Amino acid sequence: MSLAVIKFSSEECGICHKMSFYDQKVAEELGLQFIDVKMQDTATYRKYRKVLLTQYPDKSDMGWPTYIVCDAPEGEFQIIGEVKGGHPKGEFRSRLQEVLNSAANQN
């Protein structure tokens, strides 16, 4: 599996910006590829839009930021789980780890 976490955020989101100081580092420490998608970056957003819309067809329940953990994000992806909203570094790590643990338990 080539697991990645895709961060969907906005340039205007203060919490998204605050989390950017540690979210990529935490994801990589857990062995995940990190993909940062700002909604204003139309080229990058288009590339990963299908992943977001699979999880949130009308985007109404997504948080800021939304982290979607998936396998093969650039191909025939499979969504493993997600972390929504802003969290302190330790809690963010725990929530990502929970997603990875539940995925491992299903295999």
Please give the chain's pLDDT, 107 residues, in tens: 589 999 999 999 999 999 999 999 999 999 999 999 999 999 999 999 999 999 999 988 888 999 999 999 988 999 999 999 999 999 999 999 999 999 888 76
User: Is the distance from CB of 30 to CB of 99 less than 8 angstroms?
Assistant: no
pTM equals 0.94
**pLDDT for the residue 91:** 97
Strand partners, 38: 9
